[in-house]
Structure 1
Amino acid sequence: MDKLFNINFYFYNLLLKKSHDELYKNNFSRSEIYQGLEAIKSFSQIKRLSSKEKPFLL
């Protein structure tokens, strides 16, 4: 799972280096990139919690 996290993190950081025009041509926006990075961050926090204890989910 850590490999997948690293690949996703690398991918989104690579996209951040692209110009606005490059992103537009490939149908990406900066907000989507930041959303992806936040999702990765949230997922990694949940993963850490679940390895210590089961999180409380409704």
Structure 2
Amino acid sequence: PTFAPSVDSARAVRAAGLQERLTFDTFVEGHGNAFALAIAKQVASWADGHFNPVFFCGPYGYG
């Protein structure tokens, strides 16, 4: 499924404390973060309220 942003998406992004410049389109995929990126995209595509806790932990710059 494709995520269709709502009319208030920019406001919702700011209210959630997210940064609009950090998107999947600007993310640099590498060998070490390809799996994490695939999981993150899958979780982000669940716009129907489906919840699956995903936690990524690592040093800054590791994607």
Structure 1 length normalisation: TM-score? 0.34
Greater relative contact order, per chain length (Cα 8 Å cut-off, separation 6+): 2
- Structure number with the higher helix fraction is 1
Structure showing greater Rg: 1
Structure 2 length normalisation: TM-score? 0.33
